[in-house]
Amino acid sequence: MNDTEAMLQAIELAGRVRGTTAPNPWVGCVIEAPDGQVFVAATSPPGGPHAEAGALAAAGAAARGGTAWVTLEPCAHVGRTPPCADALIDAGIRRVVVAIEDPDEKVAGAGLRRLRDAGVEVVVGVEAQAVRLQLAPYIKHRTTGRPWVVLKLGVSIDGRTAAPDGSSRWITGGAARADAHQLRAISDAIVVGANTVRLDDPSLNVRHVDGADPLRVVLGRAAPDAKVQPALEFEGPLTDLLDQLGERGVLQVLVEGGATVAGDFHRGRLVDQYVLYVAPVIFGGDDAQPMFAGPGAPTIAEIWRGAFSAVVPLGADLRIDLVPALDGLAAGSVPLGRAAGAADEPITGSTPAVRADLSLPATDEPEEGT
């Protein structure tokens, strides 16, 4: 197995457990024994084995003299689990290939140094860009203290989110709605405005896919009997909210609206990734509700410019991902997790990944978002 093939397999393993590991990163590990046996694992939920420990447990004595491919630098500190660098050394791993160094100040190269000091051959940088994209929320959290912000909108071709009477069910189809729930499942928190709660009474939970409900955050006050409860009710600057969520270990926050909230996040330059579910429908007038409320860019020189990072057909709709055209993140898509229809074999040391049924049955349950 060559380095690229093995690292791509580790990246795929990591993607399967996206949304189950916060505040820890989602990491994949592949170990090849000298006799060619291959053992794999991904990060377990907090308190469980890290990817390296899971793969080593699966390999047992066969790991001695083998090679390990890991998407993120093995940890070198004691947390809820022992240091993975020490585990690799004690198991007799001969060679460790790492995609990127861990930006967490508790690691920051210490794991690599410990491996090298023990005589282990260390290679860094294989599929580094792919892993930086996959771990973008984790990297941002560890370098800024704030979560990765995803703004999700379901829109018509002419950029409208609801009819003049406020109705928006349904702009998009079942495949797009299922994908939106997968986006919820891999987010640690979800934010809406108090007006959306009053008008739509959304539950903001995860349906149609496997996954835990995110922390629900209301900008303002919500009635005690609102479906969104229990929720964190917040009043104040959005930057303070992001700081507080970061302190809670939230790696990714999903902003679902409405238009006032979307506009505030956008104008504040607080959005890291825009996810637009675009339906082939046209309202055909200026009285339908826009994507953003509030003032826009006053001149062409001041408009927001970004880059398409992914365009994916979802039934009759399109999912369009955009990121600010500021750095290397614009060079490719930000993987969200396990793709619908992926294989169902278990991952050693991990939990089942998010799965979506894209053919939603008809339902009378109110649906929020897209």
Q: Which tens digit of pLDDT belongs to each residue from 118-127?
A: 999 999 999 9
Q: Is residue 101 within 8 Å of residue 66, measured between CB atoms?
A: no
**pLDDT, average across residues 89-98:** 96
Tell whether domain 3-134 is in CATH 3.40.140.10. yes
Of the CA atoms within 13 Å of residue 94, those in its CB half-sphere come to 9
pLDDT of 314 reads 95
Q: For residues 173-191, b (16+ Cβ closer than 10 Å) or e, as one string? A: bbbbbbbbbbbbbbbbbbb
Q: Does 330 score more than 90 pLDDT?
A: no
Q: Is residue 220 within 8 Å of residue 115, measured between CB atoms?
A: no
Q: Is residue 267 within 8 Å of residue 131, measured between CB atoms?
A: no
Question: What mean pLDDT, rounded, does the chain reach?
Answer: 85
- Other CB atoms within a 10 A radius of the CB of residue 18 amount to 28
List, in sequence order, every residue forming a beta bridge with 310; answer none if it has no partner. 321
Nearest of 354, 293, 323, 320 to residue 154 by alpha carbon: 320
Q: Does 171 score more than 50 pLDDT?
A: yes
- Other CB atoms within a 10 A radius of the CB of residue 87 amount to 22
Pairwise CA distance, residues 285 & 68, whole Å: 58
Provide DSSP, 172-206.
S-HHHHHHHHHHHHT-SEEEEEHHHHHHH------
The phi and psi torsions of 313 (rounded to 5 degrees) equal -70, 135
pLDDT of 250 reads 94
User: How far, CA to CA in Å, does 132 sit from each of 2, 81, 97, 111?
Assistant: 21, 24, 15, 18
Question: Residue ranges of the domains in the chain?
Answer: 3-134, 139-331
- Other CB atoms within a 10 A radius of the CB of residue 109 amount to 13
Which range is least confidently modeled, 19-33, 94-108, 327-341?
A: 327-341
- Entry pTM: 0.82
With pLDDT > 70 as the criterion, what percentage of the chain qualifies? 87
Which range is least confidently modeled, 31-45, 218-232, 264-278?
A: 218-232
pLDDT of 367 reads 42
Which range is least confidently modeled, 49-58, 71-80, 341-350?
A: 341-350
Q: Is residue 134 within 8 Å of residue 186, measured between CB atoms?
A: no
pLDDT of 340 reads 35
Q: Which CATH architecture has domain 139-331?
A: 3-Layer(aba) Sandwich (3.40)
Q: Does 348 score more than 90 pLDDT?
A: no
Nearest of 215, 254, 263, 217 to residue 236 by alpha carbon: 217
Q: Does 197 score more than 70 pLDDT?
A: yes
What are the start-end ranges of the E strands in the chain?
Answer: 28-32, 38-42, 67-72, 95-100, 121-124, 148-155, 160-162, 189-193, 215-219, 232-234, 252-257, 273-278, 289-290, 306-314, 317-324
Q: Does 364 score more than 90 pLDDT?
A: no
- Residue with the larger pLDDT of the pair 108 and 34: 34
pLDDT of 326 reads 56
pLDDT band at 361 (very low <50, low <70, confident <90, very high): very low
pLDDT of 358 reads 36
Q: Which residue has the tokens 């809820």?
A: 80
Pairwise CA distance, residues 137 & 141, whole Å: 6
pLDDT of 168 reads 66
**pLDDT, average across residues 26-49:** 94
Burial class (CB within 10 angstroms; exposed 0-12, middle 13-18, buried 19+) of 356: buried
Q: Does 347 score more than 50 pLDDT?
A: no
Q: Does 146 score more than 60 pLDDT?
A: yes
The CA angle 291-327-156, to the nearest 5 degrees, is 20
**pLDDT, average across residues 275-281:** 96
> Residue 229, SS3?
coil
The CA angle 42-46-47, to the nearest 5 degrees, is 100
pLDDT band at 183 (very low <50, low <70, confident <90, very high): very high
Please list the active-site residues. Answer: 52
Q: Does 173 score more than 60 pLDDT?
A: yes
